[in-house]
Structure 1
């Protein structure tokens, strides 16, 4: 077992602590904090079990499984929040996940790889620049879809909530269709372009998960059980959210954009760092961009349709400030990730951008 897995195994102690505090109806701020910490190892083990099962059942079914469970943490937390009517928090957490994955994930990767392997001077060659350009263009598409409702509301006095919802339903179907075509492109017609990116999480599993004495049904049971525990922890997290926001004196936007994504994607940042320390910056890019694309093209439209079915007016009508932050993030990411090279200063640039946006969200009323 790797040091990363040992650390995550120890963090599971926060799961019973969180559930116990929630059962005892303790102070909401303590429930919120322990629930957030408990989500970190749960998200990691769900990713581990998913990848192990995917390796066993083949590339096509494995790819579909990764699509379903790749961002299950964000989906579960968002669905629980959506059911409670916390639509603004859901929107903020979706935007925050994209921003954090791109700026923190890639920033850490470029910084660590640049410092360790190129002695502050030389640049790291990145392979598969064509894939990077495709991913960047896909992110641009997602930002366009998110920008359009805000632009319509800004330029029209009559374009209200009803029309925004209708536009979002159409946009959700279009985004899901494009995401399905991306899967066809990456897993079928142009699979050769993605084959070298398969080991995106080195040291995530032991030898048993990779084939020795591997029990498929056992790992499927673990995946299901972990997902159920994640639902319970998410209930505790969301249930304590509103009171915690009031006690901390923070806005829903800041909690959603900055705090929640760090809980849900902390393991991805660790993975990006591990890849960078092994001089596999291209794998870091695959992890960060892949997760962001899943959220923008799959999770967000899925939640729009789920809100439709649940009677909650979830839509793609993000506020202007959040859309601006997403635009800045995508522009900065594209400027450093599509030329096939990276260096430590570009990592600092991305991390500085995240700190700047985090400060702006903290100060925004």
Structure 2
């Protein structure tokens, strides 16, 4: 009777009533009890994990104080109809969303490695530009699409990379930071190919040497876009599969050392949480981008500011907030290979994928989106690619190179502030 009494005491009452096998051994019921405990506390743990994830992504960062400007912009759109304020508040509201996109991508990159991480940063960092471009293209605002994408390339190559080199050089002022020169040369070659694709339609147009005026330029743009998409697909295969050894960061062998492993930060959210947040933030950016695009023309008139300046300078600065924050952070940690993957990789992705993709989407929509970015914009891009290619050819970075890139961007911004779009003037 002694052992049986012990068993009855250790069994929960509901288990005794509901189970016909009341004579099993004590350790069997202990095993069942352990599963019951897990089943009982799993929902609570899941709820706490969700609340913690919301706190980390939407509350913890100081830049999240700007999140209410997005809903405020939508309210102003329906209540007042003042395009200047709607544009301004939408612009501010997208800034924390773009930064949080960069944060979620950075967390996901912790699970994928530096090469795929840089590609993910570039891809989701460009999500804002792609969404804005699709909305503008659907509304027939082809020049806004062209200028905003051009501005994203200029912003990434001059402002983002310049700020990253400058801050990284200040933090590590006692040495020249190094990066993988071979990977930078490949990206520079792709950027020059993109310049070629954009230059020939513009030259064809302004030299009046088209076989069929207005149609040859469009046909050449669509053909070149398909070629550029094939080249970008080949670049991805080259980067991730064929020659992935080429993209290994400088000194990767030393990362396994204990001193380096201590410096690595553990991700704050799980891999699936990062993927979920990327989806949620992308949807919210797409909603807010629609109101932003609708208010561009009215904002230009109310603020007495050229549409070209808004499209080339203001929109990309907001859209590149994710790249800006990520590139500076990695440069300060002396991880310039990831910085280049974010900044130059993003420029490469826009020029070789997003722009041709928009041409193909416009083709499907029946919009005459082409690669003729006008002479002024094409010349600006060509000179920018040359300047950055010269900066990268040594494989080193310092604060002075960063300062020169930032000053070059200021010259570009001033140029577009006094530039009149020839299409608008006609």
The question of whether the paired residues in 1 share the 8 Å contact of 2:114 and 2:338 is answered with no
Question: Aligned equivalents of 1:325 and 1:32: distance in 2?
Answer: 26
Q: How many residues align?
A: 353
How many Å apart are 1:276 and its aligned residue? 2.4
Question: Aligned equivalents of 2:415 and 2:117: distance in 1?
Answer: 40
Please state whether the residue corresponding to 2:394 is helix, strand or coil. coil
Question: Aligned equivalents of 2:113 and 2:411: distance in 1?
Answer: 43
The question of whether the paired residues in 2 share the 8 Å contact of 1:88 and 1:252 is answered with no
Matches within 5 A, 1:1-365: 6-50=61-105, 52-53=107-108, 69-118=124-173, 124-158=176-210, 160-196=213-249, 207-209=267-269, 214=270, 216=272, 219-365=274-420
The question of whether the paired residues in 1 share the 8 Å contact of 2:156 and 2:343 is answered with yes
Question: Aligned equivalents of 1:28 and 1:19: distance in 2?
Answer: 11
The question of whether the paired residues in 1 share the 8 Å contact of 2:118 and 2:338 is answered with no
Of 10-19 and 126-135, deviating more is 10-19
How many Å apart are 1:232 and its aligned residue? 1.4
2:24 maps to none
The question of whether the paired residues in 1 share the 8 Å contact of 2:201 and 2:220 is answered with yes
Please state whether the residue corresponding to 1:196 is helix, strand or coil. coil
Please state whether the residue corresponding to 1:144 is helix, strand or coil. helix
Please state whether the residue corresponding to 1:316 is helix, strand or coil. coil
Which runs of 5 or more residues in structure 1 are unaligned?
A: none
Structure 1 pair 348/167, CA: closer, same or farther in 2 (3 Å)? same
Residue by residue over 1:208-232, the C-alpha shift from the partner in whole angstroms, topping out at 9 and shown as x without a partner, is 43xxxx362x544433332221121
Of 246-255 and 144-153, deviating more is 246-255
Question: Aligned equivalents of 2:346 and 2:180: distance in 1?
Answer: 18
The question of whether the paired residues in 2 share the 8 Å contact of 1:28 and 1:241 is answered with yes
How many Å apart are 1:128 and its aligned residue? 1.2
Question: Aligned equivalents of 1:36 and 1:15: distance in 2?
Answer: 8
Determine which structure has more spread, i.e. the larger CA radius of gyration.
Answer: 2
Residue by residue over 1:121-171, the C-alpha shift from the partner in whole angstroms, topping out at 9 and shown as x without a partner, is xx5141311111111111111111111111111222545322111111111
How many Å apart are 1:207 and its aligned residue? 3.1
Structure 1 pair 3/344, CA: closer, same or farther in 2 (3 Å)? farther
- TM superposition score normalised by structure 1: 0.88
Alpha-carbon RMSD: 2.9
- TM superposition score normalised by structure 2: 0.76
Structure 1 pair 229/357, CA: closer, same or farther in 2 (3 Å)? same
Question: Aligned equivalents of 2:64 and 2:126: distance in 1?
Answer: 20
Of 87-96 and 248-257, deviating more is 248-257
How many Å apart are 1:357 and its aligned residue? 1.1
How many Å apart are 1:175 and its aligned residue? 0.6
Structure 1 pair 59/266, CA: closer, same or farther in 2 (3 Å)? closer
Residue by residue over 1:109-129, the C-alpha shift from the partner in whole angstroms, topping out at 9 and shown as x without a partner, is 22222233225xxx5141311
